[in-house]
A and B are shown apart, each in its own frame.
Chain A
């Protein structure tokens, strides 16, 4: 579990005519064992927010603190596009970001590779890294951190694989005390997985903060889930986010 506190967060890229406001004065708190989804049209600053939270980008102004049991948190991050080292094997890519490379860690990596059906690929060298990107996104065995950022991890997958991985993700989240911040442009996916949905609009503006109070597990064909999804979509319409 981790606590995130963001106040007056502002991020701009470029200067003059090239200036782009990626995040506009965002105020936000996320804490405890929650699954938070961030939805919004593309270009509304979702990836930028995760990049700032993970320390890759620095904000133009504003402040943020991320703590985990009072100390600085070490989050895990599943990127929107795969970021792999093509000269390493699949397993060595996973181990690269692990501080401890014991057999226990290996076994854990193996477990998640099996989950994404890449288990028998770990010994096939290098090329397979590319296969990982194309077949299973950058979904990786980086599960020790108690705070995880995921940037559209399932958007490259076929519907069936995505569905089974969503289930796995949910049960993993439910079984541990992890805090997950999950970016998606799929409202259905957000409703299925999260306690809370943050709606962003173009220009990096946080428009709405919706609590989804339904029991887990949520089956997408379940009526209550369908209704919740319709309600969220209705809010989108009200906010004029579906236009264009």
Chain B
């Protein structure tokens, strides 16, 4: 029986998939296994509760409705913060096309890019205490510059050639923006959003640890004060799960749906 090329490719792809998933699952098994083993042996059980214990706690917290309310509070802050950071950042990105504004904001943007979120968390905690706009301004200050830089780069690389082509063919300004400018800017906006979300997420939890009276960070701090190590670990684990879900499922889906053409070009 002859094996066609197509079958060979399929077999190779199957093997690839198998390796990828088996190695990934092995990673989980080893880490969780070591953890379970170490709990009560390397460290006392109340210092390092094992994964089964943590899952139990997670179920209890879920049944009390705590997980939902904490995530709700944190996500609201993130969404608001990222939205404002996005608007501010994009506006600055547009403004800095002008040389005067570019000079005016240049160092502020560099500082925005380089200073760690912790600085803004401390400052906003001092200034605003536990008022709702404290965390919000911390997120905005930490992430706006990422959006600015991306938007500015997107505008700076607008395909003049293609826009000229459209002009030569008398394509109107609305269609030019809709079909050339926006699709060109979309990946830059997406990258800005992605960065600002992933950083905003960490900053939010950090502000909650310091100032808020709700949210994941707040719950972590309370659990720590009460010396409930299992709860601390539960929150940390949930934090990981959510971050993974958002990165691997939500953002990936958006990317696959809208930016497939970039990958295809990269591969030619």
Q: Residues of A with Cβ closer than 8 Å to B?
A: 51, 54-56, 74-77, 79, 81, 83-88, 96-97, 125-127, 130-131, 142
Task: Tell me, rounded to whole Å, the shortest Cβ–Cβ distance linking A146 to chain B.
Answer: 14
**Known: A125-B261, A127-B265. Contact between A97 and B183, CB under 8 A?**
no
**Known: A81-B161, A85-B162, A86-B265. Contact between A55 and B167, CB under 8 A?**
yes
B161: A residues at CB distance < 8 A: 79, 81, 83
B165:A79 contact, CB within 8 angstroms = yes
Give 10 nearest A-B pairs by CB, closest first: A126-B261, A97-B169, A83-B165, A127-B264, A54-B168, A56-B164, A87-B261, A77-B168, A87-B183, A83-B161
Task: Tell me, rounded to whole Å, the shortest Cβ–Cβ distance linking A114 to chain B.
Answer: 22
What is the bound-complex CA distance between A8 and B180, given in angstroms?
Answer: 35
- Number of residues on chain B facing chain A (CB within 8 A): 21
The answer to whether the Cβ of B119 comes within 8 Å of any Cβ in the partner chain is: no
Q: Residues of B with Cβ closer than 8 Å to A?
A: 159, 161-162, 164-171, 179-180, 183, 260-262, 264-265, 267-268
What is the bound-complex CA distance between A54 and B167, given in angstroms?
Answer: 9
A56: B residues at CB distance < 8 A: 164, 167-168
A142: B residues at CB distance < 8 A: 169
A56-B167, A83-B165, A97-B166 given; 18 more Cβ-contact pairs under 8 Å: A51-B164, A54-B168, A55-B167, A56-B168, A76-B169, A83-B159, A83-B161, A85-B180, A85-B183, A86-B262, A86-B265, A87-B183, A88-B179, A97-B165, A97-B169, A126-B260, A127-B261, A142-B169
What is the bound-complex CA distance between A96 and B183, given in angstroms?
Answer: 14
Task: Tell me, rounded to whole Å, the shortest Cβ–Cβ distance linking B170 to chain A.
Answer: 6
B165: A residues at CB distance < 8 A: 77, 79, 83, 97
Task: Tell me, rounded to whole Å, the shortest Cβ–Cβ distance linking A22 to chain B.
Answer: 16
Nearest residue, chain B, Cβ from A134: B268
What is the bound-complex CA distance between A127 and B183, given in angstroms?
Answer: 16
A96: B residues at CB distance < 8 A: 166, 171, 179
B265:A130 contact, CB within 8 angstroms = yes
Task: Tell me, rounded to whole Å, the shortest Cβ–Cβ distance linking B72 to chain A.
Answer: 36
Task: Tell me, rounded to whole Å, the shortest Cβ–Cβ distance linking A156 to chain B.
Answer: 16
B268:A130 contact, CB within 8 angstroms = yes
What is the bound-complex CA distance between A88 and B94, given in angstroms?
Answer: 26
What is the bound-complex CA distance between A184 and B167, given in angstroms?
Answer: 23
A127:B162 contact, CB within 8 angstroms = no
Nearest residue, chain B, Cβ from A77: B168
Could you jot down 26 A-B contacts, CB within 8 Å?
Answer: A55-B168, A56-B164, A74-B169, A74-B170, A77-B165, A77-B168, A79-B161, A79-B165, A81-B161, A83-B159, A83-B165, A85-B162, A85-B180, A85-B183, A86-B265, A87-B183, A88-B179, A96-B179, A97-B165, A125-B260, A126-B261, A126-B264, A127-B261, A127-B265, A127-B267, A131-B268
Nearest residue, chain A, Cβ from B162: A83
B170: A residues at CB distance < 8 A: 74
Task: Tell me, rounded to whole Å, the shortest Cβ–Cβ distance linking A108 to chain B.
Answer: 15
Looking at B167, B262, B265, B267, the one whose CB has the most chain A CB atoms below 10 A away is B265
B180: A residues at CB distance < 8 A: 85
A77: B residues at CB distance < 8 A: 165, 168-169
Nearest residue, chain A, Cβ from B171: A97
Q: Point out the residue from A85, A126, A130 that lies within 8 Å of B179, measured CB to CB.
A: A85
B179: A residues at CB distance < 8 A: 85, 88, 96
What is the bound-complex CA distance between A51 and B160, given in angstroms?
Answer: 13
What is the bound-complex CA distance between A85 and B176, given in angstroms?
Answer: 11
What is the bound-complex CA distance between A77 and B260, given in angstroms?
Answer: 29
B167: A residues at CB distance < 8 A: 55-56
What is the bound-complex CA distance between A84 and B179, given in angstroms?
Answer: 11
**Known: A77-B165, A97-B166. Contact between A127 and B171, CB under 8 A?**
no
Nearest residue, chain A, Cβ from B176: A96
What is the bound-complex CA distance between A55 and B165, given in angstroms?
Answer: 10
What is the bound-complex CA distance between A130 and B265, given in angstroms?
Answer: 8
Task: Tell me, rounded to whole Å, the shortest Cβ–Cβ distance linking A168 to chain B.
Answer: 21
Q: Point out the residue from A51, A74, A84, A125 that lies within 8 Å of B162, measured CB to CB.
A: A84
A131: B residues at CB distance < 8 A: 268
Nearest residue, chain B, Cβ from A149: B168
B183: A residues at CB distance < 8 A: 85, 87
B166: A residues at CB distance < 8 A: 96-97
B261: A residues at CB distance < 8 A: 86-87, 125-127
Task: Tell me, rounded to whole Å, the shortest Cβ–Cβ distance linking A20 to chain B.
Answer: 18
What is the bound-complex CA distance between A131 and B162, given in angstroms?
Answer: 17
What is the bound-complex CA distance between A118 and B247, given in angstroms?
Answer: 38
